[in-house]
Structure 1
Amino acid sequence: MKKRRTLKKIYSLLIIFFMIEIMFTGNSVQAIEKKSENQINLIVLFNDNNIDTDVENFVSESGGKVVNKLADIGGMEIYCDVELIPKIQDYATVKSIAPNHKINIKKGKAIDFKQLKSNKMSLNKVDDTSNDGDLYNLYQWDIKRVTSNGKSFDLCSGNHDVVIGIVDSGIKKNHPDLEKNFMGGENFVSKNFDDDETETGDPKDIEDRFDHGTYVAGDIAANGRVKGVAPNIGFKSYRVFDSQGNTNASIVSQAIIKATNDGVNVINLSMTGYDLKGKCYWTDPKTGVKHNVGDDMAEYELYKRAIKYAIKHNVTVVTAAGNDGINCSNTKKLTEFLNKQNGKDGFTYSGLTYVVPADIKGVINVSATGAGDKIASYSNYGNKFIDVAAPGGDSAVGQTVNDLCLSTAANDTGYMFQEGTSIAAPKVSAIAGLILCKEPSLTPKEVAKRIYKTSDKLSGNKSSEYYGAGLANAYKALNSKK
């Protein structure tokens, strides 16, 4: 007999993955993705880490479909008729159930390296050579800042015994600055995801379609014309974004778990989202019916369990603070922000909002600074919210490419200038990897403590609110005594 319990109101808000303001603008979570006219894509979270086969069978027997099972953290992604939701909620083993939103990040402006020759924003003369480190010498002020002008390279530049997992949009595998440190990866974007017929669901299909994962990899492990903070460290790529920048919570959670099971030492999550603890309502655009979708957070909990799983297995997790320029310690203001951002998609919220994964216990949350070591105009901030800062660029300061950051790209030229907290976070991931190269027995908590302890203290009345422990410094971290 099926176990049931009193119907509880349940909902999980959205995760908005926010990357870099200059490249990605206009974040939106679209209305619930439908498999057919009456079916909805849902996340089912169980009370423990075990999936209830009774629920799984009920969904299948009722005409629904189990799309993904996250057995390690007790989660399941399904398609089913809307009418089945209260029946699934009624199982005693079900903690929460919520829409698995399709998350879309629209492309905006980016500055390709080839534009430099005619771009008036450039202050430096473009060097047409392709010598080792030539672009590092010309443009990578951000990497120089973190490495004390390359001094940290002499202490440790990384090795392939330590691997950083990059959960992002994939990788340009044959990029000359990255291929020596690339150690494989996996695709988690499902077949025909978002009605894209080019998505075959092939786990080997990790080619970067969105030009973000390749950039992040360069900040960590590039070793050629540009340099990463750890130019000899190994990395793996886990593709979670499609060609249009779409993903969802179950895809990202799967990637985190797989990276952990693959034995990576650090996971970089250059993404940011917001999740509600309160009441959420969704108005169906087709029927006009307003639904009270509860006050629980299944998407948030799924994400939280995945990160907890990683940390429990001794994986250091680093994330970006976000690019909305918001004080994230003000949870009521964040709710106002959500209403403004997502009202067009039929959502209204009341209650308190938190940042994910930044607010999840155990992660290292990174804000961004410009070339003058000041908080970037777009960077999120907040008291007891920011853990540490790193260079991410700020075009609002001087409006030149030299206020941005140069790294590897999946485009024809192979390089691009960008800005964002998504660019700050991988520099800290690289420092974490370098620390583990020298002291592999350190726990994630000890790695984080080392990074905070050795950061450059930045002055200002809101120093900790903007920069946390300070500006991360690879040289000091590697030169530090226990």
Structure 2
Amino acid sequence: MDMIHFLHMLHEEIGKSQGTSRKHIIHFRTAKDYRNCRAHLKRLKPSLTHLSKIRDLNIIHAFSCSLKSDALLRQGSLPVYFEEDIKIKVHGLPEKKKHRASIKNDTPGRSQIIPWGVDQIMAPQTWNKSVGSRVSIGVIDTGIDYNHPDLSQAISRGINLINRNLLPFDDNGHGTHIAGTIAAASSNGGIVGVAPRAIIHPVKAFDHNGSAYVSDIIAGIDWCVHNDLDIINMSFGMKTYNKSLEYAVLNAYHAGKIIVASSGNDGHKASIDYPARFTQVVSVGATTRSSKIAPFSNRGSRIDIYAPGDRIYSSWLHGKYNELSGTSMATAHVSGVIALMLAIKPGLRPLQIKNILKRSSISLSKTRTVRWQAGQINARRALSALD
């Protein structure tokens, strides 16, 4: 079977896929085969209209689309293989919504609110050295509230992967909350994030329910790499291994991107979710105000660093504020600290970043009997370690 015949069959199968379809990722055995098929796809799209529903996942040399069945396509001799495009969820445990006044500001003359997590990791003590200026962070999430006063200075160009014709407006709240912890900057009673001069690029891959497909995530990673962002924040996860997602993470890592991902909120003692489980990722667990591992946080030897994640106060939809708990919130603190580091030393590579964070962390074990256990992130120590 040649590529043109394959695309004609694909066109027919996509046309049959209404209602009972499942999403698939189509991989090519070689980059040459992928480029060959992509060239034919571009040429055939005007006449075979169903081919316009194919998404190009360039970073892993693959396509994604909905098919009623891939059985017919598997029968040919074409050098492709299929993987199911499964759903993935953001990590977060919503708490009761709080008003701005619920956070007490004890510092005389200060009109800014510094949430407890930002304060505990000693980010304010580093702002005379770094505020994360010009460091770009792709937040692959539910989007962002463009009208939030604490985020107006932080937002830069993003993308809506659910609807390319719209801006990545947040219709869930999770992405806005993450962005606030990373880079909020208010001087009028709002909050301040870990790196208040970092630049947030909202990548809306998740819908209003906080759900996305793996192909959406891969497209988001591809966009971040293509636009040469420094950090990719991924506050989401799934239980099962997915080869396509691993390829995307590997390629982003080899492109020098620092990927930070949440470990999951199941309270597992020896297991974490993907993509945090990939070794190329900075995997993050959550801690409480008392610097203990949060009961909901996944933990174990695969965790690289812990950060505040329990009842975190941050920006919310419609210019409001909210408390959320989860390893998602912890991940945002870590992305912020990395932004502080990169603003001082832009050339740091992903493995260097991970090693510095681990080496400069604060131990969570008083007896140090658990030697493998990661520590809690500390911004001041991390920046001092750069010297």
Query: What is the TM-score with the length of structure 1 in the denominator?
Result: 0.69
Paired residue for 2:2? 2
After superposition, the Cα gap between the structure-2 partners of 1:449 and 1:107, relative to the gap in structure 1 and judged at 3 Å, is: closer
1:83-482 equivalent positions in 2, closer than 5 A: 84-88=70-74, 90-94=76-80, 96-103=81-88, 109-114=94-99, 132-133=111-112, 135-136=113-114, 140-147=115-122, 150-160=124-134, 162-190=135-163, 201-202=164-165, 204-224=166-186, 225-276=190-241, 300-329=242-271, 355-383=273-301, 385-393=302-310, 404-411=311-318, 414-459=320-365, 460=367, 463=370, 467-468=373-374, 470-482=375-387
C-alpha contact (below 8 Å) 2:91/2:326 kept by paired residues: no
1:42-53 equivalent positions in 2, closer than 5 A: 42-50=24-32, 51=34, 53=36
1:51-72 Cα offsets, whole Å, 9 max, x none, are: 2655986999797775201123
Cα offset for 1:273?
Answer: 1.1
Bigger mean CA offset, 57-66 vs 35-44: 57-66
Whole-angstrom distance in 1 between the partners of 2:305 and 2:339 = 16
Paired residue for 1:289? none
1:149-202 Cα offsets, whole Å, 9 max, x none, are: x21112211212x21111111011121111112112111114xxxxxxxxxx41
C-alpha contact (below 8 Å) 1:49/1:75 kept by paired residues: no
Paired residue for 1:8? none
- Report the AA paired with residue 133 of structure 2: N
- Report the AA paired with residue 341 of structure 2: I
Whole-angstrom distance in 2 between the partners of 1:315 and 1:54 = 28
Unmatched 5+ residue regions in structure 1?
4-33, 191-200, 277-299, 330-353, 394-403
After superposition, the Cα gap between the structure-2 partners of 1:407 and 1:106, relative to the gap in structure 1 and judged at 3 Å, is: closer
Whole-angstrom distance in 1 between the partners of 2:378 and 2:78 = 49
Paired residue for 1:194? none
Cα offset for 1:256?
Answer: 0.7
Whole-angstrom distance in 2 between the partners of 1:474 and 1:66 = 45
Paired residue for 2:9? none
Cα offset for 1:92?
Answer: 4.7
C-alpha contact (below 8 Å) 1:147/1:229 kept by paired residues: no
Whole-angstrom distance in 2 between the partners of 1:220 and 1:141 = 13
- Report the AA paired with residue 172 of structure 1: D
Bigger mean CA offset, 429-438 vs 60-69: 60-69
Specify the SS of the correspondent of 2:60: coil
- Report the AA paired with residue 386 of structure 1: I
After superposition, the Cα gap between the structure-2 partners of 1:63 and 1:167, relative to the gap in structure 1 and judged at 3 Å, is: closer
Specify the SS of the correspondent of 1:154: coil
Whole-angstrom distance in 2 between the partners of 1:106 and 1:374 = 19
Count of matched residue pairs? 365
After superposition, the Cα gap between the structure-2 partners of 1:437 and 1:103, relative to the gap in structure 1 and judged at 3 Å, is: closer
Whole-angstrom distance in 2 between the partners of 1:356 and 1:410 = 28
Please give the root-mean-square deviation of Cα atoms over the aligned residues, in Å.
Answer: 3.0
- Report the AA paired with residue 381 of structure 2: K
Bigger mean CA offset, 42-51 vs 227-236: 42-51
Whole-angstrom distance in 2 between the partners of 1:171 and 1:324 = 26
After superposition, the Cα gap between the structure-2 partners of 1:406 and 1:105, relative to the gap in structure 1 and judged at 3 Å, is: closer
C-alpha contact (below 8 Å) 1:392/1:423 kept by paired residues: yes
Whole-angstrom distance in 2 between the partners of 1:456 and 1:380 = 19
After superposition, the Cα gap between the structure-2 partners of 1:61 and 1:52, relative to the gap in structure 1 and judged at 3 Å, is: farther
Whole-angstrom distance in 1 between the partners of 2:132 and 2:20 = 52
Cα offset for 1:85?
Answer: 2.5
- Report the AA paired with residue 392 of structure 1: G
Specify the SS of the correspondent of 1:477: helix
Indicate the percent of aligned positions where both proteins have the same amino acid: 26
1:418-451 Cα offsets, whole Å, 9 max, x none, are: 1110000111111111111111111111111111
C-alpha contact (below 8 Å) 1:169/1:239 kept by paired residues: yes
Whole-angstrom distance in 2 between the partners of 1:182 and 1:320 = 22
Specify the SS of the correspondent of 1:389: strand
Specify the SS of the correspondent of 1:406: strand
Query: What is the TM-score with the length of structure 2 in the denominator?
Result: 0.85
- Report the AA paired with residue 323 of structure 1: N
1:204-228 Cα offsets, whole Å, 9 max, x none, are: 4211101011100111101112111
C-alpha contact (below 8 Å) 2:253/2:280 kept by paired residues: yes
Paired residue for 2:6? none
Specify the SS of the correspondent of 2:158: strand
Whole-angstrom distance in 2 between the partners of 1:163 and 1:54 = 33
After superposition, the Cα gap between the structure-2 partners of 1:421 and 1:91, relative to the gap in structure 1 and judged at 3 Å, is: farther
1:42-81 equivalent positions in 2, closer than 5 A: 42-50=24-32, 51=34, 53=36, 66-81=53-68
Unmatched 5+ residue regions in structure 2?
4-15
Cα offset for 1:453?
Answer: 1.4
C-alpha contact (below 8 Å) 2:137/2:201 kept by paired residues: yes
- Report the AA paired with residue 479 of structure 1: S
Whole-angstrom distance in 2 between the partners of 1:107 and 1:380 = 13
Cα offset for 1:328?
Answer: 3.7
C-alpha contact (below 8 Å) 1:65/1:80 kept by paired residues: no
- Report the AA paired with residue 2 of structure 2: K
C-alpha contact (below 8 Å) 1:2/1:54 kept by paired residues: no
After superposition, the Cα gap between the structure-2 partners of 1:422 and 1:310, relative to the gap in structure 1 and judged at 3 Å, is: same
Whole-angstrom distance in 1 between the partners of 2:110 and 2:348 = 37
